[in-house]
Structure 1
Amino acid sequence: MDFDSLAQQQSDRVFQVWIQNLLGNSPEELAGKLASRHCPGSTPVTASRLPNGAFNVCYRVTLESGRRVVVRFVGLGRVTARNEKVGDEVAIMQYLAQHTAIPVPHVLGSGRCAVGPYIVMDFVQGEPLGKFLRDASHHTVTLSSTISTSVLRRAYSAMAGVLLELSKPEFPSIGAIRHDETGGWTVQKRPLTFNMNRLAQFSNIPLEVFESGRFNNAADYFEELARHHFHHLELQRNNAVVDGADCRKKYIARCLFRKLSREIPREWGNGPFRLYCDDFRPDNVLVDATRLAVTGVIDWEFCYAAPVEFTLAAPWWLLLESPEDWDPDLNQFLIRFMPRLRTFLDVLKDCEAKKIRDGSLPESKRLSSAMEKSMETGLFWVCLAARHSSMFDEIYWEFIDTRFYGPFATLEDRIQLLSPNEQLNMQAFVDNKLHQASEGTLTSYYSIDELVDL
């Protein structure tokens, strides 16, 4: 389902206004002051802007001592819940530094300044791993078709090492990790996910519709993700449906996915739950240019204690492409994807065996067999559909519907599987969507002042 074009335009306008505000506040000087604030006694010498990410604008500050730090400002218009994002990311980076072997930047401090929330952290030397894998001739990011097997295996080995380390910690609930009053680490609130941010940014979905608390079992969380898809269809005013038949089909898909959502988590439904990062990909892993050895892992804003199923599903990033950039025919995507998955699983098995031999990984934390099985059982597609509203309809009808509800004959047969209330409400839902589409307007949920404070 396409995002709302008017919401995207609004997001871009807000971001451009914010950028102008940032530039008007002498960002190099501001970054230097913030670096000094969190590095007492240090004097900034130079500050330079780093390449933009999707959500942040970063400056590298060199201090008189020679130390280099990064000051990262969260872009208004790129992130809606900016303060929640920074709080979650600072906490998870501190947790990972204390409890895993993943090399994450040391957080020096965070807070609010004239342009909103920020983080100051040590600069990590290295190049994004994706730089060594992508096809430079393509406009969109994609894996080079001529990449050597040795380079690909080294890259996949680096990624496998991080995934295995990330899968070790366990938590009794699903949500964001925070310090509690005793100084320990607990799950205290909802996870702020990549998809929630996209829905708020590109579909104009108000944050208030998302659950605010943690989740004590995976069934409740999968059901919440199914509700996110309903919010997407119901509250996005533009570009949501083509006509009545299209709306009816999307409504049915969401009802049926919600119905099966509580049946998905079985073996691990009550936890313990493992850390998962929605946006983890090769561009987040910094490496040295000679051996592709990991020097640091960055961008942890959407990392949280998640259903184990997310960890055990095959990784989506093997071709580097974001799901929205996959072939419209997902079976064509699979033709390209499966050979790379076989390579990755082979590398992962070697990595697991080595770690088990040296005692750094328990046998019970192997991921390779479950990832391989996830393609056969459909878990890969279920987890992907649950986390990506923009891809939901394509994935549901291609890989989920017939697996759970049997051969598809007509849409009328699927309607009979809906609850009486769902059937009763369907036509009113469709009529409302068509009325929304005819208006071509955008509901304003937040004033600019409210957005600044979120």
Structure 2
Amino acid sequence: MEYIDHVMDLGDALNIPEFTIKDRPILDPNMEGAKLELLHRQFADILLQLSTLQLPKIGSLVQIDDFTWEVTRRPLSYNPNELVRLGTLPRLELPMRNETFESSSSYFNRLADLHVDHLIHQQNDAIDSADDCRRRYVARMLFRKLAREGRFTESSTNLGPFNIWCDDLRPSNILINEDLQIVAVVDWEFTYVAPVEFSQSPPWSLLLEQLEYWPDGIEAWTKVYELRFQIFLKVLLEQEDVAIDRGILKEEQRLSGPMQQSWENGDFWVTYAARKSFAFDAVFWKKIDGRFFGHGTSNEDERWKERLDLLTDDEKANMKRLVEKKMETRTRVLAWEPDEIDLKIVS
């Protein structure tokens, strides 16, 4: 790729000024409102442009000729790549190379299965105790149950068309010049056609830092994000109005309404948990379980015990086998392609 003339990336412009490359990024709380809106406005335009690119299947694009692209490969997404790289997930557990998805619900089902596969195969640091393993297992069974029941999708959009989506579209991959104008967006390798719910979910990157790494926890992240999201939503709505006036966006293609609904009804947490295996457990128990199954009487760490009645007899038996196997293999030497654990225990 040729060098693109720029002075910094969007993350640098939004970050706390005195932070260094060694510090985790956090949106500058003292940033001038006009500057923040200028940068948000351009980011909103990028999201709007991507959301108007629609295709009939979920998966990765393959170039057929100079003018034609088709969805013929599995989604090249960031999370499965990290599961193989860091979570000791065997590559054979990924979707087949030529596997595409005809519906959003089928893709959510596949993501739910990946969470289960991750728990089965991740070695050493996967669990802290037998109860921790049970808690993680119950969360994945319930999430998969919801996915299989179609609870994460709407019938009006389930069969497409679907939107272009990039898992790695974040401020550090957006280059700007000295006038704070975006000149390029780079690192598109994790780009694919995804469920509409992904595009309609508010961008987590408004605070720069992912919620699972926020210093004071998810609830603190949520409180700060709510304030910043309202600023972004205002700017997004204004950019939609401009695009509609110019004839490059249709009224029904607005993102502001669906994004606000996603945040208010909790769909944001579903799509985040579906796409991020290493944040799954915290997000599920804090934000998803109570929404679908009631808040219960136990604290968050013990609530899994109240949910055991929601599991089938086979799932309970499989949990017992998984816990025994996990406790036996907690400290074994890592393998590049682990295959010792019985892969049928949670099928």
Query: What TM-score results when the alignment is normalised by the length of structure 1?
Result: 0.69
Report which of the two has the higher share of strand.
1
Instruction: Give the structure, 1 or 2, with the largest relative contact order (CA under 8 Å, sep 6 or more).
Output: 2
1:167 and 2:51 matched: yes
C-alpha separation in 1, matches of 2:239 and 2:46:
11
Which of 240, 248, 262 aligns to 2:126? It is 240
- Any idea what SS the aligned residue of 2:207 has? coil
Q: Are the structure 2 counterparts of residues 247 and 328 from structure 1 closer, same or farther at C-alpha, using a change threshold of 3 Å?
A: farther
Q: How many residues align?
A: 324
Secondary structure of 1:122's aligned partner = coil
What is the aligned partner in structure 2 of residue 229 from structure 1?
115
Distance 2:59 2:160 in 1: 12
Decide which of 46, 58, 71 is 1:187's aligned counterpart.
71
Q: Which residue, out of 288, 291, 294, partners 2:182? A: 294
Residue 306 of structure 1 aligns with which residue? 194
Counterpart residue identity of residue 244, structure 1? A
Cα distance in 1 for residues equivalent to 2:111 and 2:328? 26
Could you tell me which residue of structure 1 aligns to residue 337 of structure 2? Answer: 445
Q: Does 1:277 pair with 2:166?
A: yes
* Change beyond 3 A, Cα 1:151–1:233: same
**2:5 pairs with 1:125:** yes
User: Could you tell me the TM-score, scaled by structure 2's length?
Assistant: 0.90
Q: What is the rounded CA distance, in whole Å, between the counterparts of 1:405 and 1:140 in structure 2?
A: 35
Conserved in 1, the CA contact under 8 Å of 2:212 and 2:218? no
The equivalent residue for 1:53 is none
Contact 2:89 2:121 in 1 (8 A): yes
Counterpart of 2:2 in structure 1: which amino acid?
D
Larger Rg: 1
Mapping of residues 291-370 of structure 1, within 5 Å: 292-327=180-215, 329-370=217-258
**RMSD across aligned C-alpha pairs, in angstroms?**
1.5
Consecutive unaligned residues in structure 2, runs of 5 or more = 298-302, 339-347
> Match for residue 23 of structure 1?
none
Inter-partner Cα distance in structure 1 for 2:175 and 2:288 = 36
Distance, in Å, in 1 between the alignment partners of 2:100 and 2:65 is 17
- Compared with structure 1, are the counterparts of its residues 135 and 182 closer, same or farther at alpha carbon in structure 2 (3 Å cutoff)? closer
Match for 1:416 among 309, 330, 342? Answer: 309
Q: Give the superposition deviation at 1:259.
A: 0.5
Distance in 1, matches of 2:171 and 2:336, equals: 36
Identical residues among aligned pairs (%): 36
Q: Pick from 98, 104, 111: which aligns with 1:218?
A: 104
Q: Secondary structure at the match of 1:145?
A: coil
1:25-49 deviations in whole A, cap 9, x for unaligned? Answer: xxxxxxxxxxxxxxxxxxxxxxxxx
1:419, distance to aligned residue in structure 2 (A): 2.1
**Structure-1 separation of matches of 2:243 and 2:66:** 33
Q: Does 1:425 align with 2:318?
A: yes
2:144 alignment partner in structure 1: 258
Alpha carbons 2:57, 2:102 under 8 Å: kept: yes
Alpha-carbon offset, residue 182 of structure 1: 9.1
Residue by residue, what CA displacement relative to the aligned partner does 1:169-189 show, whole Å, maximum 9, x if unpaired?
111110101123796211101
Q: In structure 1, what is the Cα distance between the partners aligned to 2:163 and 2:119?
A: 30
Q: Distance in 2 between matches of 1:298 and 1:155?
A: 17
Could you give the per-residue CA deviations for residues 286-321 of structure 1, whole angstroms, max 9, x where no partner exists?
Answer: 12111x222111110111100000000111000111
Q: 5 Å matches for 1:87-106?
A: none
